[in-house]
């Protein structure tokens, strides 16, 4: 239960953090005010800072707020204007699936049309089965947190070997 609460709080903070900067600027704290410039802030700027000046103008803030409202409306199943634990979990799951789809397209969409053909889907499924065969230690057909960590560890090792092992 504590883990769920902490996870929920973390998701809310991650979703709300970029918009807190907007509110701070509206409250007159924007100029000269020391703000944390983390990954979320950078993502917010990348997405909404159209003129590239490193700050959000009033129009850019309005666009960011509209995007936030659209996000809430997309996942707010009970219509109360905010996201419950279940709604946040669904949003997080949807985000994760979107990232995985982009990665799959990048890797398997050979013709670059933005859609996986039947051949490309078969290639993706083959790669998935190979990954499961190699890393699914408990054989349940899914990758646990620990099994995914092993994949990351192996990938890091491959990258280091590729980068520093010049003589093969």
Q: Comparing 16-20, 58-62, 88-92, which segment has the lowest mean pLDDT?
A: 16-20
- pTM, 2 dp: 0.49
Q: Does residue 15 have a pLDDT over 90?
A: no
Higher per-residue pLDDT: 115 or 37: 115
How does residue 85 score in pLDDT terms, banded at 50, 70 and 90? very high
Q: Does residue 78 have a pLDDT over 70?
A: yes
Q: Is the dihedral of CA 147, 131, 120, 109 positive or negative?
A: positive
C-alpha–C-alpha distance, residues 49 and 61, integer Å: 9
What tens digit of pLDDT does each residue of 140-167 get? 988 898 998 998 999 899 888 888 877 7
What pLDDT does residue 17 have? 47
Q: CB count, 10 Å around CB of 135?
A: 16
What tens digit of pLDDT does each residue of 31-70 get? 443 344 678 888 888 888 899 998 889 998 899 899 989 9
Higher per-residue pLDDT: 1 or 50: 50
What pLDDT does residue 21 have? 47
What tens digit of pLDDT does each residue of 92-110 get? 999 888 888 898 889 999 9
Higher per-residue pLDDT: 168 or 123: 123
What b/e string do you get for 32-54 counting C-beta neighbours within 10 Å, with b at 16 or more? eeeeeeeebeeebbeebbeeeee
What pLDDT does residue 8 have? 45
């Amino acid at each position: 239960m504590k883990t769920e609460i902490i996870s929920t709080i973390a998701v809310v903070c991650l979703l709300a953090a970029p918009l807190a900067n907007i509110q701070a600027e509206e409250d007159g704290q924007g100029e000269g005010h020391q703000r944390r410039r983390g990954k979320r802030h950078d993502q917010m700027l990348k997405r909404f800072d159209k003129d590239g000046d490193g700050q959000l103008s009033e129009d850019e803030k309005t666009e960011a707020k509209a995007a936030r409202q659209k996000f809430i409306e997309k996942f707010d199943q009970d219509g109360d204007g905010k996201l419950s634990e279940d709604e946040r979990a669904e949003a997080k799951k949807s985000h994760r699936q979107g990232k995985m789809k982009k990665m799959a397209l990048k890797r398997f969409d050979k013709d670059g049309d933005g859609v996986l053909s039947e051949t490309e889907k078969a290639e993706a499924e083959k790669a998935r089965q190979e990954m499961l065969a190699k890393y699914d230690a408990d054989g349940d057909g899914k990758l646990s947190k620990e099994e995914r960590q092993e994949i990351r560890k192996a990938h890091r090792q491959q990258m280091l070997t590729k980068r520093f092992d010049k003589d093969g």
